[in-house]
A = this chain, B = another copy of it.
Amino acid sequence: MINFEFYNPARIIFGKDTESQAGKQISKFGKRVLLHYGGGSVKANGVYDKVVKSLKEEGLFFVELSGVVPNPRLSLVREGIELCKKNNLDFVLAVGGGSVIDSAKAIAAGVRYSGDVWELYMDNSKLAGLTEALPVGVVLTIPAAGSESSTASVITNEEGWLKRAINTEVVIPKFAVLNPESSYTLPAYQTACGASDIFAHLMERYFTQEPNVDFTDRLIEANMRTILNNAPLALKNPNDYNVRAEIMWAGAVAHNNLLNTGRIGDWGSHDIEHEISGAYDIAHGAGLSIVFPAWMKYVYKQNVDKFIQFAMRVFNVDFSFDDKEKIVFEMIERLEAWYVRMGLPIRLSDVNIGSERIREMADKCMVGRTHVGNFQKLKADDIYEIYKLAL
């Protein structure tokens, strides 16, 4: 276990009808709000109306900025920064899923950063110059990205379609309202992709080469079992509060950095996936269900025993230790079966992607980087092999 610092001051307000508390929470920090969201879904499911009512009840001034899309764009972030400056706004409220929250964090950081906001994403060393951001609040509608209480924001620059991230305490939301009911209306595929994203966050943390991290291993396993059990049930019964609640809370804890303590996560599969969803129009969660089995097949030999532990404790594989590879590959088949049960792709061919651009994607993944991943430090040729395994 390595030395660590853990700090997460996000206030989680969880449960039915909790949107009504948004206005009161904001009042602790500001009076002039940028209300940031995507498009129709928060209006269709009633969340938008509840939030606006809560803002009005507290007498808060607000300006709206909608139009966030998956893989949130730098251009909208820049627009939000201008809007905040012009209207002297002092709080950013994100209503939606990870894309909206990531966009809100970028705006909040950009308003307070002396340089151009994209610098922070391209060169993380510049985060040292970001000592504060506008306070951010969240009303979550999609359990997936975990951005509601994380230090992270991922933004896509349309010029060159580069997708890059920041991680900094100053963008941790001040509060996050989590009402599982707001996820009832998610399309089945989006529910499945969300579960895949959460499970990926857990695997990225789990597969570390750091020894003596059994407590956090077990916490991650607990979270994994929750997602494995509940996600398929949410597809069967979209309005089951208890199932949606388990997923929503587990999804937040998966990414709030508690499960990272004392260890260095991998995150290679995320980087490898970002190139797929950058080059083709597929959901992040669907890209992850394609990348992970391939990544596992490529890297497991770096620490077979970690994979055996995972296979036994999370997937109940209790084969004899006479053949350790058999245990690993049985686990991969069970993981793939879980993805397939939820209607997710497990090969590039499942989403009609061929080998045409995989060399280009592998090279692009290395732009500005010396390697991706930590379990095994991967170079362009390794990534290319992983894409081949995923065909």
Contact = CB atoms under 8 A, between A and B. Distances in A.
Interface residues of A, number: 39
A215 B226 contact: yes
A258 B249 contact: no
Contacts of A157: none
Copies in the complex: 2
A9 B12 contact: no
Contact of A15 (B3, B16, B221, B226): B3
A226 B218 contact: yes
A202 to B, nearest CB: 12
Contacts of A245: 1, 212, 262
A256 to B, nearest CB: 9
Nearest to A246: B215
A344 to B, nearest CB: 22
A250 interface: yes
Contacts of A250: 215
B14 A249 contact: no
A301 interface: no
Contacts of A218: 222-223, 225-226
A253 to B, nearest CB: 7
Interface in A8-40: 8-16, 18
A2 interface: yes
A161 interface: no
Interface string A189-221: 000000000000000000000011011101101
A261 interface: yes
B249 A215 contact: yes
A316 interface: no
A221 to B, nearest CB: 7
A9 B7 contact: yes
Interface in A242-269: 242, 245-246, 249-250, 253, 258, 261-262
Given A5-B14, A9-B9, A218-B225, 8 more contacts: A1-B245, A6-B12, A8-B8, A8-B9, A211-B242, A215-B222, A215-B223, A249-B261
Interface of A: 1-16, 18, 211-212, 214-216, 218-219, 221-223, 225-226, 229, 242, 245-246, 249-250, 253, 258, 261-262
